[in-house]
Amino acid sequence: MKVFIVGASGLVGSNCMQHFTQQGWAVKGSYFSFAAEGTVFYNTLDPEHPENYDIAAWQPDIIVHCGALTHVDYCETNVEESYQKTVQSTINIIALAKRCTARLVYLSTDYVFDGKDGPYTEEAPLNPLSVYARHKLEAEQLCLAEVPGTLVLRVTNIYGNEERGKNFVSRIVAQCREGQKLTLKLPYDQFASPTNAMDIARAMFLLLRDGKSGIYHIGGTDYMNRVALALRVLQYFPHAEYDLIPLSTAELNQPAARPLLGGFVTAKFSKEYPDFLFSNVDDFLKG
């Protein structure tokens, strides 16, 4: 199997690249702004860019699209840029997948829901609250409509090993190890399913191997708010200095609305793969 991963220098993309390679698949991955080791340049907004890797010539069987603008509040005030980097980039990847006659994998989010009745199954009513969420849903639906056999994985609160250590859990770990005092102002009323990026890669591999398509919810075994997630990490650093200030989402006054009760019910995936064990934050920190 030949897989091209768009956005392989990021958290999910890099874990997919690692796992698929370990499973014996031929894998290449691209970067746009951060040239991670082993990646090639590809600008999803300019398919004719002269420095783009010639994906079509490599003829992948599968294209995994991990790239997007993920800064939710920035998207709220930069609507056109959000559209370009989430929707238009996906439109361009759809055209590429058609050209290669490749299957497509799209990474979506629990932000496609309004957070009033989570955690969510795949059949739950959709109601995105923010610009970011609306653009993610539009891109998700375009993939499903345009490319037969598309696989959509909705994921949330992703953490794990990555070269830049940008994710929430890794940033706390790094600051604790460096002896920095942390000031954490975190919402106590936003709940989700923190998920290890390697679990996403492992689940995606099985689904692709078995020719699955459609929407799957992928999430870790924890269901918690950001305050509890931070405390879970901090308990592994008993000498860490920190000020933890729990706030309501309303008090945070963020530009973009958030789904409060987000996260996922993973029953669909678990029924099809009963032997698959999702990990949790403790597993990651102990490892």
Return the domain boundaries, the chain: 2-160+194-222+263-278
pLDDT digits (tens, 9 = 90+) for 137-175: 999 999 999 999 999 999 999 999 988 878 999 999 999
Whether pLDDT at 69 is above 90: no
Q: Does domain 2-160+194-222+263-278 have CATH number 3.65.10.10?
A: no
**What pLDDT, on the 0 to 100 scale, is given for residue 129?**
97
pLDDT digits (tens, 9 = 90+) for 246-277: 999 999 999 999 999 999 999 999 999 999 99
Please provide the average confidence, as pLDDT, over all residues in the chain: 95
Q: What is the token pair recorded at 18?
A: 């690692």
Whether pLDDT at 234 is above 90: yes
Region of 179 on the Ramachandran plot (φ > 0 left; ψ -120 to 50 alpha; else beta): left
Return all residues near 150 (Cβ < 8 A) that are at least 6 apart: 103, 104, 105, 106, 143, 144, 213, 214
| 124: confidence class by pLDDT, cuts 50, 70, 90 | very high
Give the CA distances from residue 117 to residues 120, 125, 179, 254, 261, in Å, rounded to whole numbers and listed in that order.
7, 10, 39, 21, 6
Exactly one of 132, 159, 216, 223 is catalytic; which is it? Answer: 132
| Host H or E run for residue 116 | none
Question: pLDDT over 70 for what percent of the chain?
Answer: 100
**What pLDDT, on the 0 to 100 scale, is given for residue 262?**
96
More confident residue, 67 or 230: 230
pLDDT digits (tens, 9 = 90+) for 185-223: 999 999 999 999 999 999 999 999 999 999 999 999 999
**What pLDDT, on the 0 to 100 scale, is given for residue 282?**
94
Average pLDDT over residues 65-93: 95
Whether pLDDT at 34 is above 80: no
Whether pLDDT at 287 is above 90: no
**What pLDDT, on the 0 to 100 scale, is given for residue 164?**
82
**What pLDDT, on the 0 to 100 scale, is given for residue 67?**
83
* Residue 132 designated active-site: yes
CA 228 from centre of chain: 21
**What pLDDT, on the 0 to 100 scale, is given for residue 166?**
81
Question: pLDDT over 90 for what percent of the chain?
Answer: 93
